[in-house]
Structure 1
């Protein structure tokens, strides 16, 4: 499973990743931006194995930003990621206790959270690999292709991403690229 969140500003953002079997949720500033629900087609690997956090900084601008439309501007280098006050919540599992008794402290998404996630995705998502039928003719196991599918071209690019940014053609102020 993969999630790529891009930001084009110097604004500090708060990100979290919540695992609640059988779901995994990604948050930015306490707004959910993606929810992955385990399905049988995923097999036994997710999320039955121990989870970890791994962060990298890399240049995916040749493919991850609307087919390379927005390139990395290296005059802003070096690029640094900092994690401050990182708090991991959950519980250790064993053979005798294969899941957290309280679900790891996460609850189902409220209607307000789900609405906020849909609004975020509609405004900022410029590409969705779950909708990229050229690269992936059959949806990947973690993809739930649903109501937002008509908003994407067969390439996975959002149909109206420039309109969502007020018609601007230059670098967007913020955005999410999917694996959302």
Structure 2
């Protein structure tokens, strides 16, 4: 291939990447195009059009998928519908990790959905691990302002060189600028994307008080609108496949809509956190007597939380009169 043709081909590729990045939320893939089975093969059910996958947890096993490629930064998203009824001890996870490659220095970004006893809401926890920082996972926990079991809702992770943003239905719920972190604690190595359902009886519900009851199973979590956008890393070298491609891809990613924290997004995030956050590591002085450098401690906010980092007022009282809110991720963590 002549240099001119090669340059034209690279330019076309970069243009396609930039176009995709311009609206990363629309860049969805078929299940078999982006993922391979990880475990519980018989408990993975794909739709006829290969756009939706259901993961089952039963008495024999849970199940999970892993992305076919590793990514060095990216936008990762899925619309998820969670199991209903009695789901205590059940964990549905949607997360990035490189733990299978870097066992002692792994990075990880988690959405962990924690089941509950009948009548109690699902909760979602976000975790951030950098360079093996398993003792400081920076957990935050929220209740959802909708019933996540009746229809699909979208959950997204944006990871760039400069920031990490967690989204729920296109509303940012957590923003982590790299500048606020210590160098070693910000995820920096290529990661794979995982979707799993598994038995977390030992800790998921009331610190293990309520365990999975398989009488109510099988428990089914469905995933659709799968998005995997970013710089792919070589499976062998675990490094970006092409410096030019990655430079352009990351620049386009940083300029994409999910990466731009407008004033409206900041206000929406603040409202979500004020109304739905029920645990914050920044206010957990029992586990972390010395606050993390990125924690912006606000006295009026601090008074809402106990020394354990949990919200002072019970969720039921705090939300009275409103409609009820109806494997292997990172290990937890707090006695939440």
Q: Is the TM-score greater than 0.5? A: yes
Q: Given that residues 282 and 297 in structure 2 are in contact (C-alpha distance below 8 angstroms), is that contact kept between their aligned partners in structure 1? A: no
Say whether 1:61 aligns with 2:205: yes
Say whether 1:129 aligns with 2:281: yes
**How many residue pairs end up in the alignment?**
166
Pairwise CA RMSD of aligned residues? 3.2
- The answer for the alignment partner of 1:166 in structure 2 is 320
Listed as ranges, the matches of 1:34-49 within 5 Å are: 34-39=174-179, 41-44=181-184, 46-49=186-189
SS in 1 for 2:281: strand
Paired with 1:41 and 1:95, the residues of 2 have a C-alpha distance of 28
Q: Given that residues 32 and 116 in structure 1 are in contact (C-alpha distance below 8 angstroms), is that contact kept between their aligned partners in structure 2? A: yes
Cα shift readout 1:77-128 (whole Å, capped 9, x = no counterpart): 3333222120112234457456412234343211111111111111111112
Q: Given that residues 21 and 103 in structure 1 are in contact (C-alpha distance below 8 angstroms), is that contact kept between their aligned partners in structure 2? A: no
- Give 1:164 deviation, angstroms: 2.5
SS in 1 for 2:251: coil
Listed as ranges, the matches of 1:29-178 within 5 Å are: 29-39=169-179, 41-44=181-184, 46-57=186-197, 58-59=200-201, 60-63=204-207, 71=210, 74=213, 76-92=216-232, 93=240, 96-97=243-244, 99=247, 100-104=250-254, 105=256, 106-140=258-292, 143-147=294-298, 148-162=301-315, 163-166=317-320, 173=325
Q: TM-score, normalised by structure 1?
A: 0.72
Q: TM-score, normalised by structure 2?
A: 0.42
Please list every run of 5 or more consecutive structure 2 residues that lacks an aligned counterpart in the other structure: 1-108, 115-120, 123-146, 233-239, 327-333
- With a CA cutoff of 8 Å and minimum separation of 6, indicate the structure with the bigger relative contact order: 1
- Give 1:130 deviation, angstroms: 2.7
Paired with 2:185 and 2:312, the residues of 1 have a C-alpha distance of 33
Please list every run of 5 or more consecutive structure 1 residues that lacks an aligned counterpart in the other structure: none
Q: Which has the higher helix share?
A: 2
Q: Which has the higher strand share?
A: 2
